[in-house]
Structure 1
């Protein structure tokens, strides 16, 4: 079995260190290495055991690493590649994934969601996550208003009896993203099952 070796490349030291600490909290047996440039990331990867995961920022200063991602995939064919970025454009994200990248995650998400998305990629999912799945309004009494737009989309399809896979296909998102949307909307609606969520959706006229 390969040693679990994660290389983080980001030119913002505070973000990079914070991410390293978060990952070490959930993958305590992994070796987590930091690099402040894309080139340093490659050099570190070549010096030791082949990394199991790359986590790389899309932009270093004013330079995008997009054109380097296909070569990175060719050289490290068994390594998960995750791009983190402040860019929240779906067209850009899908183009990045087409380079052989396994995950595209927005930096604007909460630490909990970033870590969950990274874990999903490392477990074999392809993840595209651009917007929060847990509403900042979840403590409000007005439950429907506390749902995000995407949660409402998921809820309507869930109420129609669609599976997570079918919801993912309909919304063009990953099954992992559907799972966390479902979890979030169950929490917001105060229910513990899909059936109960569907019943509430019908009662609120959301179905």
Structure 2
């Protein structure tokens, strides 16, 4: 995978979470990794899709799995279907290996547990922006295999 770079003068990240306190924490972690980045916040998938429809592109989306206007992986699937080139990193309190594996199989560029320290969040964001697929150190699953990559490709179509 090639490293991801900003598609314009300044990188833009979209933070999608319905909890203001956690949006602020993600913003702080993003600033630690990339002090010059512009962050935009969305409280719902609907709001995120409206922001993404704007002419100015985003370089990364940080998405909470548990959002009020979608169920399960629907938010990730909507983002991956409509914006297949946008790397989407799941940030979630659900840390089970099955959840992480499924998120990766649907094309997530990484999975960051909400229990992670701010410095770990920053390192994860840097890793994804450099082209890696980030998973927590405690994750014992595998990175996406051929079947899950095929599923991610289907989502992009």
Task: Tell whether the structures are fold-level matches, with TM greater than 0.5.
Answer: yes
Tell me if 1:2 matches 2:7: yes
Structure 2: stretches of 5+ with no match in the other structure: 1-5, 144-157
Tell me if 1:11 matches 2:11: no
Give the conservation status (yes or no) of the 8 Å contact 2:45–2:70: no
Tell me if 1:97 matches 2:104: yes
State the shift of 1:50 in Å: 1.7
Relative distance call for 1:22 and 1:38 in structure 2 (3 A) is: same
Distance 2:137 2:49 in 1: 26
Distance 2:32 2:75 in 1: 30
TM-score scaled to structure 2, two decimals?
Answer: 0.77
State the shift of 1:40 in Å: 0.7
TM-score scaled to structure 1, two decimals?
Answer: 0.60
Report the structure number with the largest CA radius of gyration: 1
Higher RCO structure, 1 or 2 (CA under 8 Å, sep 6+) = 2
Count of aligned pairs: 136
- Match among 28, 48, 58 for residue 21 of structure 1: 28
1:121-160 equivalent positions in 2, closer than 5 A: 121-129=128-136, 131=138
Structure 1: stretches of 5+ with no match in the other structure: 132-149, 151-170, 175-207
Distance 1:67 1:30 in 2: 27
- Match among 54, 59, 65 for residue 61 of structure 2: 54
Distance 1:55 1:17 in 2: 12
